[in-house]
Amino acid sequence: MQNRVTKLLGIKYPIIQGGMVYIGKPPLSTAVSEAGGLGTIAAGGLTLEQFAQEIDRAKELTKNPFGANIPLVIENVPEYIRIAIEKQVPVVILSAGKPDKYIPALKGNGIKVMQVVPNVSMARKVEMAGVDAVIAEGFEGGGHMGHDELTTMVLIPQVVDAVKIPVIAAGGIADTRGFVAAMALGAEGVQLGTAFAASLESPAHENFKNAIYQADDKATVVTGRSMGMLVRDIKNDFTAQVLELERKGASREELLEFIGTGRAPRALLDGDMTGGSAMSGQIAGMIAGPKSVKEIIDGMVGGAEGILDKLQMLRKI
Amino acid sequence: MQNRVTKLLGIKYPIIQGGMVYIGKPPLSTAVSEAGGLGTIAAGGLTLEQFAQEIDRAKELTKNPFGANIPLVIENVPEYIRIAIEKQVPVVILSAGKPDKYIPALKGNGIKVMQVVPNVSMARKVEMAGVDAVIAEGFEGGGHMGHDELTTMVLIPQVVDAVKIPVIAAGGIADTRGFVAAMALGAEGVQLGTAFAASLESPAHENFKNAIYQADDKATVVTGRSMGMLVRDIKNDFTAQVLELERKGASREELLEFIGTGRAPRALLDGDMTGGSAMSGQIAGMIAGPKSVKEIIDGMVGGAEGILDKLQMLRKI
């Protein structure tokens, strides 16, 4: 299975682990790289020192390529970029901002650069800026998202038509059906968040993982629309309170004060599934229990053959 | 290309035209049936007399099967059902309510019954009630939708896993890539709305069709969330005003008074793209110009082979 994405990143399968704060790091990220995908370390939630340490840990735990996710909205972005360059992280994945000023240094040092995009115009802009591939993320994905609310089904073919670089699909993908569907839409790879967050190797709290296993199709909700800061979480007291404040017309300041800081680690690391922000994609309803990263990736790749056999009936007769 | 959906409905290709008010009727619906899909007549927007006339017209214009869409929220539902039975419409597609009390009479008269569902629990309920197939419609679709906001990518596999009857995918599908992707997700057919609304045979106003052709990926928006009446339209003055009222905390009564009646025909039939409700799916951004219904269907079916050839690389080596 060789295509532009596997060749660009030097990986076996075009499967990437999404940049999840507090969760995207070894041993999860290294398990993904060891299983033939691209594991990634999320800079968000890590101090500069922790970020450097996790990169060192990743290098000890796998000889395979891995990446670092750096959202362009966190503090000290240039410092995270500098560390990624110094430590020769093979791939840097940017998001939520203009990548232009970082690309020459990254690419000049042999680092592959990808960027997460929510729409066609941003895909075009980052291609012009020189990124090697885009990760187009649909509305069904978990955690923070753009406010365009474009779903994976409509976003992928439109981005594929708009750019020449490879497009990786993110949002709503957790099994071999989603993998093959994304590739049919024209993607050359997929990125998974929730499925890996719920895996055996994920450092997330058991309460969070259990909430994913128990989730049905309607378990998640988007908050923050009224202030243009959309986040998809598993529904709980916290999301209900935010939505009630929004319904009442609370100002951005009131909302930010109520939300405060530390809601994500409260759910993801401390297991507070009542008051924490339990970021998850809509696909949670399809994740029924714990699996290892290798089981997830092998199932995704290995199942493609059976789907293709079924799809043969679509060939013109 | 034979599967459970083509056999159930007696059609050549598992492609269904969605039930669009004011648009779903001859000559559009009959063009779809003539091209090998299932054209449908939308009861919504038609008086009982008009509904009966359009069925008669459909029978004159095609010998192929066609359907009637009857949303269970319109007035006089039993009368529309009675007409469909009297006139022996081959297929009835229900939506937005419990189908139980209508199913015995419909199926007893040899009519195939399908229902549009927005989530897994509704799919299970209508299967129990005896419908022959479900049409699972994702958040990216145009017009009225459920409030669960489940996208096609996550909805289809979860519904497929939950029911034994065939699942037809709706929302975000307009070309062969979407068709093959939906079938990879486990659907056994697809339903298209926006693509057919913008077709040459569509009775929609030219202004509306042109707005679809000119739409980019971000051209649509959902209004009505604050009152649980979600509608996806092309963005215009009307949607901006509704969203502004919602942002200010307007009551349901205030919103319904502002919206009034006739907003949909104002856009769809009269071509008022400023003050009308121009219902459209997110996929509008991919529809670049006028095509005949036959071109759309032939392209969708004929393109599958090329995609399957590309996907062969996913087979395990």
On average, the pLDDT of chain A sits at 97
Q: How far apart are CA A311 and CA B7, in angstroms?
A: 17
* pLDDT tens per residue, range B220-251: 999 999 999 999 999 999 999 999 999 888 99
Percent of chain B whose predicted confidence (pLDDT) is above 70: 99
Is B177 in contact with A161 (Cβ distance < 8 A)?
Answer: no
Is residue A13 less than 8 Å (CB to CB) from chain B? Answer: no
What pLDDT band is residue B138 in, cutting at 50, 70 and 90? very high
Q: Residue B316 has what pLDDT?
A: 67
Which is it for strands B167-170 and B189-192: parallel, antiparallel or unpaired?
A: parallel
Question: How many contacts (CB atoms, under 8 Å) link A and B?
Answer: 186
pLDDT tens per residue, range B190-205: 999 999 999 999 999 9
B153-187 pLDDT per residue, tens: 999 999 999 999 999 999 999 999 999 999 999 99
Interface of A with B in 15-54 (CB under 8 A): none
| pLDDT grade for A249, boundaries at 50, 70 and 90 | confident
Q: Which of residues 136-165 of A touch B (CB under 8 A)?
A: 138-140, 148-155, 157-158, 161
Asked if B40 and B69 touch (Cβ cutoff 8 Å), the reply is yes
Residues from chain B that touch A182, judged by Cβ atoms under 8 A, are 181
pLDDT in tens, A35-94: 999 999 999 999 999 999 999 999 999 999 999 999 999 999 999 999 999 999 999 999
pLDDT at B1: 81
A 255-284 → B contacts, CB under 8 A: 281-283
Cβ(B21)–Cβ(B54) below 8 Å: no
> Measured between alpha carbons, how far is A189 from A183 in angstroms, rounded to an integer?
7
Residue A285 carries which side chain, given as an amino acid letter?
G
Mean pLDDT, residues B75-100: 97
Contact A181, A148 (CB under 8 A): no
Indicate the pTM of the whole model: 0.97
Of A120-134, A162-176, A248-262, the range with the lowest mean pLDDT is: A248-262
Q: What's the CA gap between B67 and B42, in Å, rounded?
A: 9
| Segment A254-275, tens digit of pLDDT | 999 999 999 999 999 999 999 9
Q: What is the mean pLDDT of chain B?
A: 97
B69 pLDDT higher than 70: yes
The pLDDT assigned to A1 comes to 81
With a CB cutoff of 8 Å and minimum separation 6, the contacts of B190 are: B14, B15, B16, B168, B169, B170, B173, B178, B179, B182, B183, B300
Portion of chain B with pLDDT greater than 90, in percent: 97
Answer whether B152's CB lies under 8 Å from B172's CB.
yes
In chain A, what are the domains?
Answer: 4-204+286-303 (3.20.20.70), 220-279 (no CATH)
Bridge partner residues of A113 (DSSP): A92
User: Is B3 in the A-facing interface, judged by CB distances under 8 Å?
Assistant: yes
In the β-sheet with B66-71, what is the strand arrangement from edge to edge? B15-17, B189-192, B167-170, B133-137, B112-117, B91-95, B66-71, B39-42
| B217/A158 CB distance under 8 A | yes
Question: Given this model, what pLDDT does residue A316 score?
Answer: 67
Q: What does the block give as tokens for B156?
A: 């289809």
pLDDT above 60 (res A104):
yes
pLDDT of residue B34 exceeding 70: yes
Assess whether pLDDT exceeds 60 at residue B317.
Answer: no
| Interval A182-239: pLDDT, tens | 999 999 999 999 999 999 999 999 999 999 999 999 999 999 999 999 999 999 999 9
Are B302 and A316 within 8 A, CB to CB?
yes
Are A220 and A142 a contacting pair, CB within 8 Å? yes
The span from the CA of A195 to the CA of B154, in Å, is: 13
The predicted pLDDT at position A183 comes to: 98
A289 touches chain B (CB under 8 A): no
**Which residues of B fall within a CB distance of 8 Å from A297?**
none
pLDDT band, very low/low/confident/very high, at A162 (cuts 50, 70, 90): very high
CB contact under 8 A, B150 and A140: yes
